[in-house]
Amino acid sequence: MNFQNVAVIIPCHNEGGTIYQVVNGFKNALPEAPIYVYDNCSTDDTLEKARDAGAIVRVEYRKGKGNVVRRMFSDVDADFYILVDGDLTYDPDVAPMMLERLIKDKLDMLNIARIGAKGSYRKGHRLGNFLLTKTVKIIFGSGLDDMLSGYRIFTRRFVKTFPSKSDGFEIETELTIHSLEMKIPIGEFTAKYEDRPHGSVSKLSTFRDGINILFMIIRLFFLVKPITSFSLVSAFLAI
CB 67 within 8 A of CB 60: yes
CATH at 107: 3.90.550.10
Closest CA to 213 of 110, 134, 118: 134
Q: What's the total number of domains in the chain? A: 1
Averaged confidence pLDDT in the chain = 85
SS3 234: helix
- Burial zone of 120 (CB within 10 Å; 0-12 exposed, 13-18 middle, 19+ buried): middle
Residue of 191, 31, 217 whose CA lies nearest to 136 = 217
The boundaries of the domain holding residue 229 are 3-238
196 alpha-carbon distance from chain centroid: 17
What letter would DSSP give residue 192? E
Reported pTM = 0.83
Q: Is 118 exposed, middle or buried (0-12, 13-18, 19+ CB in 10 A)?
A: exposed
pLDDT tens figures, 118-171: 545 455 566 766 777 788 778 777 678 898 899 999 999 999 999 988 888 789
